[in-house]
Amino acid sequence: MGSYNYYKMFGCFNRKFKISESEPPPDVREAFWRYTAGRQQMTAEQLLKFMVQHQEDYNCTAVGVEDIMQHVFHRRHHHQQDTKNHNFTLEDFFYFLFQDDLNGPINPQVHHDMTAPLHHYFIYTGHNSYLTGNQLSSDCSETPIVSALENGVRGIELDLWPNSTKDNVHVLHGRTLTTPVTLVKCFKSIKEHAFVKSPYPVIITLEDHLTPKLQARVAEMAMRIFGDSLYCPESGYVEDFPAVESLKHKIILSTKPPKEYLGSNHSKEGATSSPKYKDYSDDETEVESEADDKQGSDSDSEDYDNCGRRSGNVAAPEYKRLIAIHAGNAKKKCLRQVLRVRIERARRLSLSEQKLERATSLYASDVVRFTQKHLLRVYPKGTRVTSSNFCPIIAWMHGAQMVAFNMQGYGKALWMMHGFFRANGGCGYLKKPHLLMSKNSNGDVFDPKLPWPVRVTLKVIVYMGDGWRLDFSHTHFDTYSPPDFYTKIHIIGAPLDATESKTRVIEDDWAPYWDQEFTFPLRVPEIALLRIEVREYDRSDKDDFGGQTCIPVSELRPGIRAVPLYDKKGRKFKSVRLLMRFRFE
């Protein structure tokens, strides 16, 4: 009897975990019958008609459709077939729709206009790119730099400090317990991996804590390692930002131009008085003399002299010549003046997340106007010692091109960053929407706080999901039964657009079928993100994570699409995906 109960129990267990094949949703069946005129097979010509009319893929061609069919036949039947003699069955058609590489939610190619100036783009930017972990005690290494570049990051930040003997340059997070890595290792890694993922320019922002002698060493090192890849304008700095397309395979250095060392007598390395390094946490820290410090200057570079005294620019001339994009940061009491200063030549300004919040709260129009001519970089506040990140939407809504993120951790903010920059072929540059680069007839710029009317409505149908049975163990979610999945959908964007919804819970099913529609009226769709997260309902504990993705609404392709999901660290699952439909009205 005991033996009978044992086998009965595990027999039930096995039945519960029996996997059944997913079936096409009614909308998929209806589309198939409509485009085949009720026949059992779909020809290449009929598939092309479906792609153009239903999926609104107006660039799809007969050659493209034949390629799709070849891929499907090869994957499903494990051999090549001549598409001229074979058609899609309903099962082939459903299989195709569920392949994210053949039918994904966004265009996988670079498709934005890349001929506009650099400041017309959002740029995939890292913060303290050399750190492997937290901001206080983790190792510094070239490895996270390589990883970032291979994932499409185009902005790399390096903090430069003298080594213990003052004769070489280390990269580390200053005044912490982080262990250093040599600058030469970082430069060589950038040289080798800069254009593996994307041909578009890599901007290296330097936080410079060096003496003129070591600045000269950095210049020699950069010229030797990067060679012709180093972008050096004839004037010594960019007067106007060049077109991104013209900067392909170029390395661009950006930091504050070196200041002269004040004092009546100058040694070989600068002023008689030893330089004092004033720490501004995670920003481009300027090197100041004791005399500068006593004056309490709020100036951050020679061009912000309306905020304090004029600073010099003589130190290591060969180093200064390599700084293509001059940069500065802003002190609290002159923030508005810095944003309003009328500088003819292009430059970059850095603000902490707190300063950005203050600036956008008090001077939103000034921030947007600044970004219509210059680069704005926003970095995490210094208290984020665990390498967490802030919500980037507020920065993007006000035109900030370089939202600098800690890439070594994970969390919802980083998921948003990953998703945002999967757009435009993952090349690391996204063309800013026209509304952020234009002015109305009164000369006013975009203000996200205004009560904008609804300009478009996004309708989303979540049909079903699949793939967990392949990417997770059968006991990952529940020990004795299949998982109970539901999907959460968020709109992240302008304040009035932000909302969230979720599907019902589907119990005991590895391939949940929801078939639920959601409607999202949008006022500023150009900046909105669609964040999707699948969770497994747990009655007694916190719901389990089942995958996530973020997609820019402006990049969504209409029609029935396969949406791949990613793990908590942003790595794409091999098999987990959702079948969804997107429609704009």
Instruction: Give the active site residues.
Output: 127, 173
Q: Which residue's structure tokens are 């999926």?
A: 55
Backbone angles phi, psi at 580, to 5 degrees: -135, 165
**Are 203 and 252 contacting, i.e. CB atoms less than 8 angstroms apart?**
yes
3-state DSSP call for residue 546?
Answer: strand
Q: What span, in angstroms and rounded, lies between the C-alpha atoms of 253 and 378? A: 17
CA distances from 167 to 159, 182, 188 (A): 16, 12, 19
Instruction: Residue count of the chain, please give it.
Output: 585
Q: Hey, what amino acid is at 122?
A: F
User: What sign has the CA pseudo-torsion 287, 291, 293, 297?
Assistant: negative
Q: What span, in angstroms and rounded, lies between the C-alpha atoms of 179 and 157? A: 16
**Are 425 and 108 contacting, i.e. CB atoms less than 8 angstroms apart?**
yes
What DSSP element (H or E) covers 461? strand 456-466
Tokens of 271: 């002023």
Smallest CA-to-CA distance from 313 within 256, 388, 369 is with: 256
Angle at 364 between CA 363 and CA 370, to 5 degrees: 90
What DSSP element (H or E) covers 375? strand 375-379
Contacts with 499 (C-beta within 8 Å, 6 or more apart), sequence order? 490, 491, 520
**DSSP state, residue 545:** E
Q: Which residue's structure tokens are 């190792």?
A: 139
Q: Which residue's structure tokens are 């070849």?
A: 70
Q: What span, in angstroms and rounded, lies between the C-alpha atoms of 403 and 395? A: 7
